[in-house]
Amino acid sequence: MFAALIQRQRNFFNSGKTLPLDFRIGQLKRLKDSIDRNENLILEALHKDLRKSEIEAYNSEVLVVTTEIDYVLKRIGKWTRPRKVRTPWMHLPAKSLVYPEPAGVVLILAPWNYPFQLTFAPLIGAIAAGNCAVLKPSEYAPHMSAAMAEIIRNNFEQDCVTAAEGGVEVSKALLQERFDHIFFTGSTNVGKMVMRAASQHLTPVTLELGGRGTSSGGVCINDTVSHIVGSDLPFGGVGESGFGNYHGRASFDSFTHYKSVLRRSFSFDSKMKYPPYQVELKKIKRILKFLLR
């Protein structure tokens, strides 16, 4: 049902078009511009589906997403740069670097209660990290689902970002396909099904669940759930509330693979590393103790 679409997205990703920083910045700016131009459509859809007032809908959904885009745009240049790390003496002369690389083609399964925010907030991280994405809005917020699908369809190449509307059958069909990361927000029971389906392809998952376990991934003191809007506060659960987190840098990290690279020079190479070993073990231990301190 979705195999051809996902293959096209994989081809687009493999072409390298999503990797340049300028492309990612352009996609994020396009997302924000499309939200600004369709603000009335979004607010009307939220009222029809959830009876949210304009002020509540704007503050809890639209503003959260546009503020997050601005936050990411200011920092994405730093996040995407390779990071130099310490190289053990025994490997010198060499350089050690950590490269942030996109996961690939990702799936975002969204709930009905904050349908706009909980669809587009993870998408920001996916785009910033350089991925292609398939969005599955909740069928229980049909007007919002249609509005988001229209926004995505009119502003993004389908081979890069697309929205798949429909009911449970659509979600099940998507979960039969191989993705490189799945981001799910919803109930604990459905989260288990998502994780079970992901395991068939060994696909990593982020689960944001409405669990009622004794553990919590975040705390809000003298207020209720306000910590969800802070880009500097990773939001995510533990135990029955899921695992993984997002918002700000955490969203970027959720859709990123950090690749370790050791680049050695051939200008010097110790013979002690290779058989036949000419040095006693005691001497090697003393040398390694010095080098590894």
Three-class SS state of 91: helix
Mean pLDDT (the chain, rounded): 92
Separation of alpha carbons 117 and 145, rounded Å: 12
Amino acid at 4: A
- Give the closest residue to 200 by CA, choosing from 177, 183, 182: 177
| Residue 135 token pair | 């969005």
CA geometry: angle 168, 4, 123, nearest 5 deg? 60
Question: Residue 36's pLDDT is what?
Answer: 98
CATH of 3-262, one of 3.40.50.2300, 3.40.50.170, 3.40.605.10, 3.40.50.720: 3.40.605.10
Element (H, E) at 100: strand 94-102
Question: Residue 210's pLDDT is what?
Answer: 81
Give the chain's radius of gyration (CA, Å).
23
- Give the closest residue to 116 by CA, choosing from 166, 151, 71: 151
Positions of the chain with pLDDT lower than 70, given as ranges: 211-216, 291, 293
pLDDT in tens, 92-122: 889 999 999 999 999 999 999 999 999 999 9
Other beta carbons within 10 angstroms of residue 201's beta carbon come to 13
Spatial neighbors of 192 by CB under 8 A, at least 6 apart, are: none
Instruction: Decide if 97 contacts 253 (C-beta within 8 A).
Output: no
Question: Residue 42's pLDDT is what?
Answer: 98
Separation of alpha carbons 122 and 184, rounded Å: 10
The domain locations on the chain are 3-262
pTM: 0.91
